Amino acid sequence: MPLRARITRHLPFVVVASSATLITADFAKIGLAVPGIEQYLGADQVDVQIVLSGYLLAFALSLAVAGRLGDLWSHKAMFVIGIAASTAGSVLCALAWSPLVLDIGRLVMGAAAGVVIAQTMSFIQLLYRGRARGHALGIYAAGIGITNAILPLATGALMTLGPPESAWRWIFWINVPPYALAIPATALLPARRRPTARGGFDLVGLALLGLATLGLMLPFVLTSTFGPGGWHWLWLALAAAAGAAFVRWELRATARGLPVVLNMTLLRSLPFRHGIFVGGAYFGAFQAALLMLLLYLQQGLHRTPVAAGLIVMAFTLGSALSSLRSGRLVHTHGTRVVTIGLTGVLVCTGLVAAATALPDRYGIPGLVIPLLVMGVFSGLVIAPNLTLVLRHVPAPQSGVAGALVQLMQRMGATAGVAIAMSIYHLTLAAGAATDGRTQHSLAFRNGMISVGFFVVCALVSSVLAGRGSRREENPVLY
C-alpha cells in the first residue's frame, strides 16, 4: 500500500486515539488541583468528592447511553458532541467562581468523557480487524501510558508559572487547545450513511442499567465521606435489584423482537464475560496502587509532586513500551499473554509493598525497579484483554459492547480506589507506629493487600476465560 494511502487510512485512528488519551489522563492530573481548590475556592470535602468521584460516576452513567446512540445514530456525531462538551466543561471549570460551578463543570466533563470513550472503542472496532486491531489497541494503550506519565508533570510545571491562587485553573485550561483542535479534525472521521444497528431506543433497559450502575458505584464514591460503615451501602441492594430486572427485561425484549440495550448472546460467551471482569478487577488494582503510591511518596517520604510523578513514571513508561508489542502477541498466544501479565503484576505488587520497609538509601531504587517491571507486565494485560473481548463482538453491537467494557473498568476503579484508600486512611488513623514515615509505610502495605486481592480476582478470571475459549466450538470472531 502506498505511503499516502496508509496515512489516509490511519488518520481517523490518530484523531480518536489522541483525543481519548487526553481525556483518560484527566484523572491522573486532577489530584494536583485539589489543594488549590480547597484553599482558594473554599471547596469542602463534599465538593472535592464531586470533583473526583462525581466525575467518574457521570463518566460511567453516560457510557451505555452514548454507546447505544452511536450504534443507532452516528459514532462520528456523538464523538463531536463529546469533544465539544469536554471543551465547554473544561472552560466552565477553569472560570469557576464558586464550588458549585466547579462541581457542575466536572459532572459535564465526566459525562462528555463517557461519550468520547464509548465512540473511541467503536471506531477501533470498526476500523480494524484481527492483528491490525490488536496492534491499534496496543498503540492506544501505549499512548495512554505516555500521556499519563508526561501530562501531570507538564501541568505541574505550568502551575508554578502563575500566582498560587489561580494555579489550579491551569489543570482545566490546558485541556482547551487540544480539544479545540480536535473538533475540526473530526472531519477526517468516516461518516456512515446508515446506522450500524437496527431498532429503536430501549429506554427501560437503559434506565435499569443506569440504576444498577448508580447503586453499585455510589457506595464506594461515598465511602471517603461517610466512612466504611453507614447507610450508603444499602445502595448495593438497589444495584442487585436493578441488575436482575435489567437482565430479565433484556431477555424478554429479545424474545419479543423489541429493541435492546445489550444483545444478551454476548454474555453467553465465556471469553467475553470473563474478559470484561478481568478489565474491571485489574483497573481496580493498578489505579488504587498508583494513587496510594503518590500519597505515600508525598506524605510519608515528603517528596515533591514532581519527584513523586517521576518515580511513578517508571510504571507508566514500562506499560507503554510493552503495550506496543502485546497487542500483536495476543493473536498467537491468546489469553496466556494476559495470564502471564497478571502473574507478573501480582509478584511485583508484593515487591513494591516490601520496598517501603527498606532503609532510606535503598528505598527509591527498591521502588523504581519493581515499578518498571510491573509496568511491563501491565502492558501485557490491558490491550491484549481488550483485543480478546472485542473479537467476539459484531459491528452492530460495537458501541454498547465497548461502553460495557469501559463501564466495568470504571466500576472496578471506583471500588478498588475506595477500598484501598479506606484501608490506607484507617491505618493512618490507628497510629500504631512510633513515627509518621513508618505509619505511612504500614498504611501503604496494608492498602496493597486489597490491590493484590483485585489482581488475584483478575488472574482467576483470565484463567477461566482461557478455558472458555478452548471449550467454545467454532467461535464467531470479528
Residue type, 129: R
Asked if residues 390 and 401 have their Cβ atoms less than 8 Å apart, the reply is yes
Q: Residue 418: what pLDDT? A: 76
Summarised one tens digit per residue, pLDDT across range 397-422 is 655 666 677 778 877 887 887 788 77
- Per-residue pLDDT tens, the chain, 478 aa: give them: 555 555 566 777 777 777 788 887 776 677 667 777 777 777 776 677 777 777 877 887 787 778 777 777 777 888 888 888 989 998 998 888 888 888 888 889 988 988 888 888 777 777 776 667 767 777 777 777 777 777 777 777 777 777 777 777 888 888 888 888 888 877 777 765 444 445 566 778 778 877 887 787 777 766 656 666 667 778 888 888 888 888 888 788 877 777 776 666 666 767 777 788 888 889 888 888 887 887 788 778 877 767 777 888 888 888 878 877 776 677 777 788 889 999 999 999 999 888 887 776 666 788 888 999 998 898 888 878 877 777 766 655 655 666 677 778 877 887 887 788 778 878 887 776 556 677 888 888 888 999 999 999 999 988 887 765 555 544 444 4
Mapped onto helix, strand or coil, the DSSP state of residue 232 is helix
57-86: b (≥16 Cβ within 10 Å) or e: bbbbbbbbbbbbbbbbbbbbbbbbbbbbbb
113-140: b (≥16 Cβ within 10 Å) or e: bbbbbbbbbbbbbbbbeeebbbbbbbbb
Report the C-alpha gap between 137 and 131 in whole angstroms: 10
350: its cell numbers: 508484593
Instruction: Name which of 342, 314, 309, 313 is nearest 326 in CA terms.
Output: 342
Residue type, 15: V
* Predicted model pTM: 0.76
Q: Which residues contact 4 (CB under 8 A, 6 or more apart)?
A: none
- The CA-atom distances, in angstroms, between 161 and each of 122, 164, 177, 302 are 40, 9, 18, 22
Q: Residue 342: what pLDDT? A: 92
Summarised one tens digit per residue, pLDDT across range 338-385 is 899 999 999 999 998 888 877 766 667 888 889 999 988 988 888 788
